Chain A
């Protein structure tokens, strides 16, 4: 799948949760959303991209959500 599109999608999700005042909740919101609605393949692809590019184009909430999720397996 196009990484560019995955980044666009995850950033949109992060922008929605950015309204949440509690940062922890916001990160959890993004992570849960990806787990509920994205295929494992899409999540892994995004994680691989982030690992390689250190999340350059990712919204900070998205970066945090992706890194601590344990999707490596």
Chain B
């Protein structure tokens, strides 16, 4: 569904929109209006521009009818109905302002104000308080009851949440926060306790908000009409004076936000109700965890040094890029053209990733460019291209609202994609049925009012076996959608696949024991997926980060094609992208083998177009992938790296291997906002810009291109794209862009799926989902509708090959890794915010049985050893993981989660197998040897940073 963006609709219409083909015409205060059937009188009035006073109503929540402010008179109806809960009827005549209504409203208001602090002048909501506004609207002049009666004015404020305060003295018990927690977020953490006068908001499961089940999404704060729930930043800084629409820089949901500003200071982030991915909702990271952007750890001056054990030297941008360029050229002269490369970032904009790959291909003259998607969703790119013909998810997020069966595999949306999880849970509450395939009992398995009908807790590393067993059931039980297959898919490939999965070796009875799942449950899941109506698959890194990641992605696409669950709303294959711009960085040609738009570098026609546009000759063969770069560095043939916005030393597997490779390079250039783990091995540091400091675009998991808008100047003097331009020019390859919109114009001119994308079109539409071209000028929310991008869908064979990473007597447990709600990936951003209040260290989750047999108690220090390395974490004993499986997050560098992970990788893409590592766990009392070495090295690097020399106008001393 394409919805056009209208910035003027940012007013509160009181109750949610209704979708109906039937239009109802009514008369309000003498004016006529037609609205969809089911619309409330309040909303119809608001659409006419008529203001009916309201307190408990807001258009993000269903009407509640408790505040008694929105009363109206309706001809032929007795009494004074609440306009929020009264649906329109044909020919209805409504009066919103009569003397009687005025008296009634004023009387109700009087009661509210008799128990409300009269501190409006010093109140944090002053200037943006609905209670104050409504008091003005109804003309309240006196409170006849006085203020001395029983009241709540002495109630104690709860300031436990790091981002917002709860002041019960200001609460009017409108229930908006409680309903927001239920309807918008789906957590059901808030409730009204007590009755009558005792009624107060309470957060369940704890003494205060921080201790409670509240996930701090902030929906309650946004819904509150008074200062009862208020951002601490507003309390501190006052009301904002302007706002800029931009896009969140955390996960792949890509929420749209209003960055509310005071001068060049960010006061708060408020999710944009016109945001087409998030519809006015957000999570704790996007809404609150932006303090890192101005954290004192930000490095804002370029720095260089000859060796990594030298102190840093601050220099000008010009000196830094000149030095980097001279080093890169020196290395190429000495070791050959292919001895250097670059890494683009999924945290940077499309324009920035495009420029970095352009710099590598055009200025370095090789194809040694890769992106952090290598270590997350590269198998998605490969698997979906092979089967469907395009390396992207098939649906919009909104499509889930048409799904009858939802299969979540190897993903944990409520932690990693929380805003989409809220939408998914809403659909589950409406009756959709859920299958979860995951080794862990993720929150979705038994969340409030939304339970999984089937949870197949498979053994890590057995995804392909599971998918084959599901396919076997579908084929052998006659659950195929044969007309779809015949019309839309390659016949020969289907026949081969069908014969393959039908073999007895692929039956649930044969593979169930391999997966550790009851065959009957696998059969039940297959039947539900194939016959339960619209069925949609959502998957994450639990599918891709395996030695058979690409095979599993193809297995998923096979299931969708076999059951005809693709090519319309409510179905599809949906990769949940980890970072904000994983989709975009892949689209922009960041992989060494393909140019923007997923076109292979060996394609002469395409290559020639780029050669003409870029005025260079391009190499026709693929370059090195990230792990190949490390291998080549250790072999002595790869010597220089330009790394923008990725922390490979923390995020890539087998840390000791990565750091050895970085140490073997002679020129590592890191462009980042902090001195991250990789920068500790760098020779040139270019200060990066946060998403608040630049213009550009991000592309989310639903292929939605959204604008990132600059709200403050780059602290380091240049936006990241400007840094790349400076480096290219220093390398003697001229780049002349005045604004990122010019870069997007170049992308559009060279990429058929982006032809109609421009900043002007993005402003007009709000956002655009590619393909966006002459055939689809408004973008493409759902792909593969009439035919697959590759023409006919191609069933791929998916033989199960067990990973080489096997348990044995020495390493009897399987470690799998993942993310938590409050922290984000390597944690460089979220660790520098108050989000540490929820998660200040990575813990090892271990099942009580495994813990008991090892004498491990909750909170004990445990050593985790694998074939790659050892680290020490504290234990969390929980039944969330199955016996034989342990789990940890990787947000803190000192945890060394990736010291343990091995360099096993996906056969097709080299995406690391983060999700399966054989380990042993034992109780210990000291940090691991690696952790001691890490601490010493890190302390030394901090010292070298602290002792950095200032340029003071003098020429840099670092010269070879």
**Could you tell me if A36 and B622 are in contact, using CB atoms closer than 8 angstroms?**
yes
Q: A2-B635, A16-B801 are in contact. Are A37 and B907 (CB under 8 A)?
A: no
Taken residue by residue from 25 to 43, chain A's Cβ proximity to chain B (1 for < 8 Å, 0 otherwise) reads as 0000000010111111110
Q: A2-B631, A2-B635, A19-B797 are in contact. Are A39 and B908 (CB under 8 A)?
A: no
Interface residue tally for chain B (C-beta within 8 Å): 31
**Could you tell me if B907 and A39 are in contact, using CB atoms closer than 8 angstroms?**
no
**Could you tell me if B632 and A1 are in contact, using CB atoms closer than 8 angstroms?**
yes
**Could you tell me if B635 and A19 are in contact, using CB atoms closer than 8 angstroms?**
no
**Does residue B769 face the partner (Cβ distance < 8 Å to A)?**
no
**Could you tell me if A21 and B496 are in contact, using CB atoms closer than 8 angstroms?**
yes
Report the separation of the CA atoms of residues A38 and B559 in the bound assembly, to the nearest whole angstrom: 30
Chain A residues contacting B551 (CB-CB under 8 Å) are 16
**Could you tell me if B631 and A36 are in contact, using CB atoms closer than 8 angstroms?**
no
Chain B residues contacting A13 (CB-CB under 8 Å) are 907-908
**Does residue A18 face the partner (Cβ distance < 8 Å to B)?**
yes
Report the separation of the CA atoms of residues A18 and B801 in the bound assembly, to the nearest whole angstrom: 10
Residues of chain B from 559 to 590 with CB closer than 8 A to chain A in the complex:
none
The size class of the interface chain A forms with chain B is: 20 to 34
**Does residue A50 face the partner (Cβ distance < 8 Å to B)?**
no
Which of A5, A9, A37, A42 has the most B CB atoms < 10 Å from its CB?
A37
Chain B residues contacting A19 (CB-CB under 8 Å) are 500, 797-799
**Could you tell me if A33 and B797 are in contact, using CB atoms closer than 8 angstroms?**
no
Residues of chain A from 1 to 26 with CB closer than 8 A to chain B in the complex:
1-2, 5, 9, 12-13, 15-16, 18-21
Q: A2-B634, A19-B797, A21-B496 are in contact. Are A38 and B907 (CB under 8 A)?
A: no
Chain A residues contacting B801 (CB-CB under 8 Å) are 12, 15-16
Chain A, interface SS category: helix
**Does residue B287 face the partner (Cβ distance < 8 Å to A)?**
no
Chain A residues contacting B624 (CB-CB under 8 Å) are 39
Report the separation of the CA atoms of residues A5 and B629 in the bound assembly, to the nearest whole angstrom: 13
Q: Give the shortest distance, in Å, between B796 (CB) and chain A (any CB).
A: 9
Q: A37-B593, A38-B622, A39-B621 are in contact. Are A16 and B908 (CB under 8 A)?
A: yes
Chain A residues contacting B500 (CB-CB under 8 Å) are 19
Chain B residues contacting A2 (CB-CB under 8 Å) are 631, 634-635
Residues of chain B from 779 to 807 with CB closer than 8 A to chain A in the complex:
797-799, 801
Closest to A35 in B: B602
Q: Give the shortest distance, in Å, between B336 (CB) and chain A (any CB).
A: 10
Which of B602, B628, B634, B910 has the most A CB atoms < 10 Å from its CB?
B628
Partner of A1, one of B496, B547, B635, B908: B635
**Could you tell me if A15 and B907 are in contact, using CB atoms closer than 8 angstroms?**
yes
Residues of chain B from 591 to 628 with CB closer than 8 A to chain A in the complex:
592-593, 600, 602, 621-625, 628
**Does residue B850 face the partner (Cβ distance < 8 Å to A)?**
no
Report the separation of the CA atoms of residues A21 and B625 in the bound assembly, to the nearest whole angstrom: 30
Report the separation of the CA atoms of residues A39 and B427 in the bound assembly, to the nearest whole angstrom: 46
**Could you tell me if A18 and B799 are in contact, using CB atoms closer than 8 angstroms?**
yes
Report the separation of the CA atoms of residues A7 and B600 in the bound assembly, to the nearest whole angstrom: 25
Closest to A26 in B: B797
**Could you tell me if B622 and A39 are in contact, using CB atoms closer than 8 angstroms?**
yes
Chain A residues contacting B637 (CB-CB under 8 Å) are 1, 41
**Could you tell me if B496 and A16 are in contact, using CB atoms closer than 8 angstroms?**
no
Chain B residues contacting A35 (CB-CB under 8 Å) are 602
Chain B residues contacting A21 (CB-CB under 8 Å) are 496
Report the separation of the CA atoms of residues A2 and B623 in the bound assembly, to the nearest whole angstrom: 17
Report the separation of the CA atoms of residues A5 and B909 in the bound assembly, to the nearest whole angstrom: 14
Report the separation of the CA atoms of residues A12 and B548 in the bound assembly, to the nearest whole angstrom: 9
Q: Give the shortest distance, in Å, between B624 (CB) and chain A (any CB).
A: 6
**Could you tell me if A37 and B622 are in contact, using CB atoms closer than 8 angstroms?**
yes
**Could you tell me if B631 and A5 are in contact, using CB atoms closer than 8 angstroms?**
yes
Closest to A22 in B: B496
**Could you tell me if A1 and B797 are in contact, using CB atoms closer than 8 angstroms?**
no
Q: Give the shortest distance, in Å, between B379 (CB) and chain A (any CB).
A: 12
**Could you tell me if A1 and B623 are in contact, using CB atoms closer than 8 angstroms?**
no
Q: A18-B799, A19-B799, A42-B628 are in contact. Are A12 and B907 (CB under 8 A)?
A: yes
Partner of B600, one of A15, A36, A39: A36
**Could you tell me if B628 and A39 are in contact, using CB atoms closer than 8 angstroms?**
yes
Report the separation of the CA atoms of residues A38 and B621 in the bound assembly, to the nearest whole angstrom: 8
Closest to A45 in B: B635
Report the separation of the CA atoms of residues A1 and B551 in the bound assembly, to the nearest whole angstrom: 26
Residues of chain B from 629 to 672 with CB closer than 8 A to chain A in the complex:
631-632, 634-635, 637
Q: List 26 A-B contacts (CB under 8 A).
A: A1-B631, A1-B632, A1-B637, A2-B631, A9-B905, A9-B910, A12-B547, A12-B801, A12-B907, A15-B799, A16-B551, A16-B907, A18-B799, A19-B500, A19-B797, A35-B602, A36-B593, A36-B602, A37-B593, A37-B622, A37-B908, A37-B909, A39-B622, A39-B628, A41-B637, A42-B628
A residues neighboring B (CB under 8 Å): 1-2, 5, 9, 12-13, 15-16, 18-21, 33, 35-42
B residues neighboring A (CB under 8 Å): 338, 496, 500, 547-548, 551, 592-593, 600, 602, 621-625, 628, 631-632, 634-635, 637, 797-799, 801, 903, 905, 907-910
A19-B797, A39-B592, A39-B622 known; 10 new pairs, CB 8 Å cut-off, are A2-B634, A15-B801, A16-B551, A18-B799, A20-B797, A37-B622, A38-B622, A39-B338, A41-B338, A41-B637
Which 7 A-B residue pairings sit nearest by Cβ, starting from the closest? A19-B799, A12-B907, A19-B797, A1-B631, A15-B801, A40-B621, A16-B907
